[in-house]
Each structure stands twice: as C-alpha cells, then as structure tokens.
Amino acid sequence: MSEPRIRRAEIAIEQRHVDRVYSRLAELRSQAEAMRAKGYEIGHGAQREAVFEQASMLFERDMMVFHANQTLQTLDAEYEGLVFGRLDQTSGEKIYVGRLGIRDAEFDNLVTDWRAPAAAAFYQATAEEPMDVVRRRVIRCSGQNVLDVDDDVLIADAVPDHMSVVGEGALMAALGRSRGEKMRDIVATIQREQDEVIRAPWRGVTEITGGPGTGKTAVALHRAAYLLYRHRRQLGGAGVFVVGPSGVFTNYISRVLPSMGETNVELRALGEVLDGIVATRQDPAKLAAVKGSLRMRKVLTRAMRDTPPDVPDEIRIVYRGEVLKLRGKELEKVRRKVHSHGGPPNRSRVRAAEALLEALADKAEENARTDGRTVDRAELITELGERIDFHRFLVVWWPVLYPGEILRWLADPARLARAGKGVLNRDEVALVAASFADRVRDWSVADVALLDELRVLTGPPPKRRRKPQQIELDAAPPARGVESHGPHRPEHYDEYSHIVVDESQDLSPMQWRMIGRRGKYASWTVVGDPVQSSWPEPDEAAQARDQAFGPRTPRRRYTLRTNYRNSKEIFDLAARVVAGHAEDGDLPEAVRTTGLEPEIRMTDTASLEGSVHSAAKELLDAVEGTVGVICAMDRVPEVSGWLTGHSDERLKVVGSLDSKGLEYDGVVLVEPTELITESTTGRRVLYVALTRATQQLTVVASGREWL
Ligand SMILES: Nc1ncnc2c1ncn2[C@@H]1O[C@H](COP(=O)(O)OP(=O)(O)OP(=O)(O)O)[C@@H](O)[C@H]1O
C-alpha cells in the first residue's frame, strides 16, 4: 500500500476507537444529567417537609447536584481532543491516552488519563529506554473526527508484520501550527525533559529555569494539573495559586488549565494579588526599582507611625474645673510610645487611650505640684476614660489607618523624607513622592506590594457592624466549586497548598514578600529565566525569595534547554543581541528552522509610522495567526494610534515589559534601541521582545546601535 493509503487506513482504525469513546461519553453525560435532575427533585420535595428534614435533604440534594455538575463540567471541558495518544506495547497490549480516564460499561479502560502512572511511558519512553513501548502514536482530532496520526517507533525489532508506521514527528507539526490569542495545552506532545518536571514530587520547592520558549510556562501549568490529579487530597482543598507577571499574560494562559478540566486554581497577575485592587500600570523602571526594594519596609513602617495629617495637635480637657492640655510635641511623644510596643496601629487604640490618659494624669500631677496639691491618679484616669469628649478626641487623633491613605500621604516630599531618612536619597524621595502626587491615577503594579505590606503592618480595620444576614431557606445555595469563575476564598486568603510563580526572575523583593504571605503552608513551583530578568538587584530578590519559601524542603531544580517557540533564524538574532549579558549555557537551543531570516528594516524617525504600518500589514498577510507589535512602554499609545486603521483582530500592540511570556506568529519590533535605554536592564528586555515570534520577525529601526 502507498503511504497515503496506509495513513487513511490507520486514521480509520483510530476513528473507530474514538467513536466508541465519544458514545461512551454521551452515556456518561446522560447519566450525570439524570443524577442532577434527581437531585433537584429531592430539593423540590424538601420544600414541603419539616425544617429539620429539609436541611438534610437539601444537603443530599446539594451533594448530588454538585457531583453531577462537576462530572458534566469535566466531560465538557475535556471534550475537544479527548483522545490524543496510543501506545502499543511489546506484550501486544494497547493503551489509549487522553485528557481523562474513561472506562466502558464493563470497567475496561477505553482511555487512560495522561496523568495516571500507566500513561507515563507515553512521555518518557525513548528509543534508548523504550519502556516496553514498540510504537507511540499521536492522534490529532478536531471534535470527534480523527484528522491525522503520527508515529514513533521505539523498538524497531519488535514491530510485528501487521503494524504500520506513519508520519514524521507530531512535535514539529504542533510547533509549526499558527498561534491563537490564548495559549494551548501541550498534553499530546510533552517532551521527556518536560515530563520529568511535571511529575516531580509535590513537596518543597521545584525550580524550573530555562531560556525563552523552552516551555517553562506550559510545564508549570501542566504540573499544576498533574499535582491536583495525583494529590487532590493534599492540595485540592486549600487550592493552588498561579501568579503571572501581567493581566495580559494571565489572560493569555487562562485557557490551559480549564482545558484540562482544572477549575480549582486561582490565576492572578502581580497587580491583582491584593483583593479589591486591579493594577495594570507599570512604573518607569527606576521608580519601580525603588518601590520594589526591601528598603521600603522601613520607609512604610515609619510613614505609618508618623503623625497622620489633619489630626488635632492639641487636647484640652476640663477635669474638676481645671483645664488639662497636651500640645504638639507632647502628643507626638505619646504616639511614639504607643508605637514603640510594635503592635499594628489598628489594634492599638486601647493602648493609645491608656497612654493618653497617663500623659494627662502626668500633666495634672505636674500642675498640682506647683500648687502644692495632690491628685488621685487612678480616679482621674477612670473618670476621663469614660468621658465622651475624650473618646471623640481619641478617634480623630488615633484614626483607623488604611494602606492607600498612607501611601497617598507620601506624596508630601517632607513627610516621605522623614520616613525615608537614611534609607532613600534625595532623588529617590522626589521620584517616589511625585508618583503618589497624582491623585487621579490608579495604583501601579509595584504599589500593590506596598499596599499589601501596609495592610499587614496596620492590621485589619475594626469591622463595621452589619445587619444580621437573612437566611433564605428556600433559595438554593450555589454548590461550592461549581461556579464558572473559580473557587471562592475568604479575603486575603493565605492557606494555598501550592503556589506557582511564573516569570519569577522579575519579582521585586517586596513582591516576594507579598506572595510569601499567601504561601505560608504551601509547596512551590517557581519558573524563571535569569537572562530575561529586568530586576536590577538580583541578590536582594534572591534573599526575599528564600524568605518566602521559608524552611520548605527539599529544593529541586530543573533546566529546560530546547527552545520550542522561535525558529532557529529568529533565536540566533536574539542570542546575538544578548551576547555578553548571558553565559553561553544559559541560552537554549532552537530546533526548528523555517528558512525565513528576520528582517531588519532601516528607517528614519519621520518615516517610522509608515514603516511600522506596512511591516504590520505584511506580517498579517504572511502568517495565519497573531501579529504582535512590540515597542517601548512609553510609545504604546502612539503606536496604537498609528495602527488603528488595521481592523484585524489578530493584531496587538504591546509594551516591552508586558510582552513577557507572550508569543505571536509574527512580530514587528519598533525601535529596539528605545527598549535598551528605557531601563537599566534594557538589553535583556530587548532579548525578551526578540524572542516572542514563532515564525516571522521584522525589526523597524532608525539606528544600528542595538545590534
Ligand atoms: N512539548 C511541547 N509540545 C508542543 N508545544 C510546546 C511544547 N513545549 C513548548 N511548546 C510551545 O512552545 C511555546 C513556548 O512555551 P512557553 O511559553 O511555555 O515557554 P517559556 O519557557 O515559558 O517561554 P518564555 O520564557 O519566553 O516566556 C508555546 O507555544 C508552547 O505551547
């Protein structure tokens, strides 16, 4: 038989199995639907029963509906590409590998979950170590239709006469396909070195390093799915937290875990870690470096303890016909004394009241001494402590402190200089104060870590009294865990069982502290590439990172070395640009060639707009998937304006720092020299930008310095 006929015959064989799987899936679906309907029936019946019985029936109803919903949700999430692999073993046995395990009515395996130990050989077997696998087959489907198959023979001598072998490499085919707006999962083509990291033990700290495009993000997300499958009891309840650099990035990766049926994972950008705030604005690099440094702890502590603006600077209170007064300096001394105990100010009002009363008693004693009188100190303290005018003064003099308010105070350079004495230099004070001066601006990403630090330093504000909540007995409570927008957790939740940090090389020390607070009991997976780091103080960040991990052991480290994203032609240019800023061993090896060299288009400033416009148009015509136009952060609004004429949804304009972790089929890189000069680690930022393209890259530049 000719190769195309063999291929068609093999596709037909797999189609028969895939048909069996989907018809079994339809059966399971209708069983789950029937269970849900039965659950609701119990609920309806319950409305007519006594309250006690009602409660237990409601519980049963909720459990049934919850399980049925969960099954339906999983079945629907895994519907696309449900079966993707097949192993033929030396024993003659065959195993189908897929997104979830499915058995037929006789409990025989139709599909084995990719995370199950029985499926490990699909990823780990090689010709050197075949693990009893004769042929490994990747099956590519669209919906329920098998489109293609690709085989690897691992034990050539063991191939029986009737066994056909087709195709040449599912990986290369997958890498060559066009990219969409959202990242795809890679379950069908995970490579051995990646699989080892995905299946590494869950305890302790697992570090994944590697150059751009080596699949670090993909591996970390698949690891989260794997850990939840294998260790659901230990990790599922408290939950997994995934932190990425920006909202654009978390949106980009948001499809991967749900496509593997995982909804019990919270995905947040660094600007969204603190509940109630969504920050997307990036401070200029120099400012972000000051705000992110550990020195800010001292600055914030002092700022919080300083006298708040607008508090009264005198107390006058009449006690038994005599006016007792404490003025500015005396009041400041009392404030200092209260803070010297170190407790959070929002928990220290009672202590503040006591200290004020003591100071007033001292004052009364001082006055009395000059007149030769005596004062009953205890009586004075009790009497004044019950007075309404004393309490009115106390609440304004020792106000509840809110983190945002304290940061806004620091717009006053004199106040910031006091808080930053010996810690920040004059330029830094001016820079930081100016950034808080603009009240209309929302918080920046770097501010979020400062707000979180202050949240802990100030302590929780006293709770407002609320009306008791009405409990509606006949309203069906939503079953926990089945909402479409992920799990509900209490505010400022810090009990995650596993934390995944992506692009960790860019976390500032203050950001490490913020994430560390949420991982007090967690094991960690930390992903990064030191060569892509835009953080200027790596040692300080490493120290803060170690503190975040705490005593967690063991620590294991994996390095991924193959760049799956960029063509060799594109990566060679990126490697040239970063040469001298990275050790050779830190750069990955790109394995795919396209024959398309990146294009460097020289232009002058006046023609820049036209050149960018036409380069973007050409790439949109040339590639099937997305096109990213990457420029310096400051230029984003301008470049977006240039391209408003392009109505193609595949086109995106993105600032250099926001391009971290993303990828496009075609990239237009605007004025590379500006990326180098916009920060102290600019050459690395340029390296990141140059490694975003999977197929074609056009650099539009008015100079050659960057080369
Ligand atoms: N085994 C694989 N099979 C198919 N595609 C893969 C595989 N490994 C990685 N890829 C693809 O390579 C690209 C790069 O992966 P990913 O974004 O995870 O890399 P990264 O190391 O996080 O890169 P960066 O550091 O540049 O952000 C993605 O499109 C990913 O789907």
pLDDT of residue 535: 75
Q: What is the mean pLDDT of residues 586-611?
A: 93
Residue to mutate, 565, 566, 656, 687, ligand 1, most ligand atoms under 8 Å from C-beta: 565
Q: ipTM of the predicted structure?
A: 0.99
Residue 591 CB less than 6 A away from ligand 1: no
Residue 529 CB less than 6 A away from ligand 1: yes
Query: With bands split at pLDDT 50, 70 and 90, how would you rate the model's confidence at 477?
Result: very low
Task: Give the span between the Cα atoms of 499 and 521, in whole angstroms.
Answer: 10
pLDDT at 195 exceeding the cut of 90:
yes
Q: What is the mean pLDDT of residues 128-142?
A: 92
Task: Give the span between the Cα atoms of 337 and 343, in whole angstroms.
Answer: 11
Question: Any idea which residue has 């009991």 for tokens?
Answer: 521
Query: With bands split at pLDDT 50, 70 and 90, how would you rate the model's confidence at 480?
Result: very low
Residue 390 CB less than 6 A away from ligand 1: no
Secondary structure (3-state) at 560: strand
Compute the residue count for the chain. Answer: 707
Please state the three-class secondary structure of 436-467 as a single string: HHCCCCCCEHHHHHHHHHHHHHHCCCCCCCCC
Q: What is the mean pLDDT of residues 62-82?
A: 72
Burial of 18 (0-12, 13-18, 19+ CB in 10 A): buried
Separation of 216 CA from ligand 1 center, angstroms?
A: 6
pLDDT of residue 176: 80
Q: What percent of the chain has pLDDT over 70?
A: 92
pLDDT at 484 exceeding the cut of 70:
no
User: Residue of the nearest CA to atom 14 in ligand 1?
Assistant: 213
pLDDT of residue 50: 57
pLDDT at 618 exceeding the cut of 90:
yes
Burial of 310 (0-12, 13-18, 19+ CB in 10 A): exposed
Residue to mutate, 217, 222, 248, ligand 1, most ligand atoms under 8 Å from C-beta: 217
In terms of pLDDT, which residue wins out, 128 or 293? 293
Residue 210 CB less than 6 A away from ligand 1: yes
What does pTM read for this prediction? 0.87
User: Residue of the nearest CA to atom 18 in ligand 1?
Assistant: 215
Question: Any idea which residue has 């004393």 for tokens?
Answer: 390
pLDDT of residue 454: 97
H-assigned helices in 579-648: 608-622, 636-642
pLDDT of residue 468: 45
pLDDT of residue 503: 92
Q: What is the mean pLDDT of residues 263-277?
A: 91
Residue 651 CB less than 6 A away from ligand 1: no
pLDDT at 466 exceeding the cut of 70:
no
Residue 175 CB less than 6 A away from ligand 1: yes
pLDDT of residue 25: 86
Q: Give pLDDT tens digits for 27-39.
A: 888 887 887 777 7
**Which residues are annotated as part of the binding site for ATP?**
210-217
Separation of 465 CA from ligand 1 center, angstroms?
A: 50
